[in-house]
Structure 1
């Protein structure tokens, strides 16, 4: 059975208009440019050219400057008003510097003096077509970006260095309760926006070029729909030389999440109170017994109470970690992020945990370049990530082994890895290693105390920083945890 072959879509031919009162020039231009595959239209004077421009769009217009009734300069003004993206080439027999400068000031792209050769015409038109296509690509990209930003449910606003608004999507205007005329080109102080947002923008604009901080605020506001809580973040937008040329502010409506977090926090707080109080009381009573204040204990009794005390301590740690994890996963902790230098954090963490390693004759090696580009992060969170990974590596490794901490740059990320020579993780356990409360349970790890929340906390922190974490492991040969954190984008 014969199948229909779909027609190949042919590229759209560029349309060129030649406006000149000399028939010889018009005909020569049409002949040369038609041979190049362009669609060429002709106008015998300025009036006819303006009429054609009003009826359709041309990619390139060649216009003679000196024509009766309507000059090329007047035609150029009509083009700039009706089709600002059209590229205009001036044809002139009076190719003086003054004429050229005037034409450029009024928006001409280039000029070609009479008489000109076919090669000169082809060259100047080819350059104009290339420029026109670049403008179209920019316009298409801007259109796509504008459509994408306008469809976002989060509010987005961009300002220039003078605090004038260059972009504000409908979600942003809705979140600040603004429903008036267009805000584009207006100063941020001229529209109804909170003082916190104004201060964040001012702080961001005056930020030194060698710093990168993302101010964050939670703002309470009200409108016809009632009370609302908005999280605002502001970041500098920088040019090629690193100087700040504007700001980008993002608003998230977190009202429902805050209410959910309040309910959950109340519940967790109640549970923590109800659990911690009796646990602390029991821990104190056990300590009294272990200290012999209630009478002498046998070795067996002391052993049993020691185990109970250890388990109670583990439960206390689990309650604290569960509370930390619930806060992290809610995404509502407004941790202010800044440009964090991972070199310093890694050195400090490796030095801090070296003593824990020495207790098991485990050496901690740090491999990193002298300087790493900064990542946009919360420093305390980064310390918590490294602490959890290094502590786990020590805990799940036998004596006389090495833990290696490595930092490198990989594309647009800082790549951190913690490699041990420990017991390793089986394939089935690897699938669930980041689940809450999940712990590998085998003959090597059965006696190791833990809550199963540490890696879940690490994963939540890394993902909150738009990074990723993965693990590779072979039983008996150790494990490697790898974290990718995005670099500061300036």
Structure 2
């Protein structure tokens, strides 16, 4: 038997009419519940068996269910599991003549929100239970919405948000990791040692110790910079900052938790290196001017004394002055030699393709502003290369910058890698808007007043420092700048 109340009333505490499904095989109890709740402003749906109750539940989606456990059709506990499984956010209140504590515990384990025993001596208590469950449901929905908004906010942040336990295992990472590090969160979270495993080998121990120290001193904000191996093969400079730190607890087995952010500061770190390099070159220029000035006086002094010596004997005391000036010249030459010493080269295995991809990523915003389109043509079978990653990166960005100087909007700049016997090559090609034959040697001469050749001179010197060769080619309106590097023997 099934009957549905058609009366619709407004509930006491709002303007929304809530529906209540009561599944009860005792008609007296069912009618009493229906009449009371209808008078309280609820829309009541009724049935006396489990099969029809499940059908109404699926078709009408009631806001609350009042369920008797001893019903025909589908056993009450089974129907409870089915309802909570299909719609866990719908409150199911057990109204049963079973007063044993084991029945109540089993019902709560199956997802019941509350448990009322029959006979119902106070309908006010039943109504209050229904309203409490609706209020709790509303609170849960608002919490879910807030959590969803927070989750979407975290996922859309331009920094990598992470949660790390005291064993240095990631427990959470937002989707920004894919764009910053090249790895989606599911890969990062699937490997226990993923974070430390991708830290640059030379810095891994220091980073591990820094994290361990942070968990030992949770009151001190954590801050650490380190190099991390991007999925594309090049290192990125990361800055890790803590938001909150919970220390491990040996008694409870809690491993500790650090929540924080990882910021990609690669561009800033690279610019810092470029500024240092530029400062060295400026210093070199200043020293060259100083040396040129200092050379004049000793030369004039030597010339004057030489003329006087023509009229005197070889053993006169003025020879001491000549020696003194010669010693001063030697000191100046030593200073020149010191400033002209090649930059420090740190040799390690690196990927020419990874460096080209990194250079393209670094230059992409500037090229986009100039509406220049980068195009990659990479050899997929390059041998391992032993060289200085940072210096090669400086050269690559230098070549891209100089090739793009005279390009027009909409044109394509091609970044290419290839290998010949004994050498690997990095080439940057761009349209050349001149019919004048370029003086290749002049373009590589250092310290021109302005123009691309000044930057190419820096790249030329760095290429020599890493044992490579920088060449300039002009053919059929295309300018190609090529860095050739020897392969390890």
TM-score by length of 2: 0.46
**Could you say which structure has the larger radius of gyration?**
2
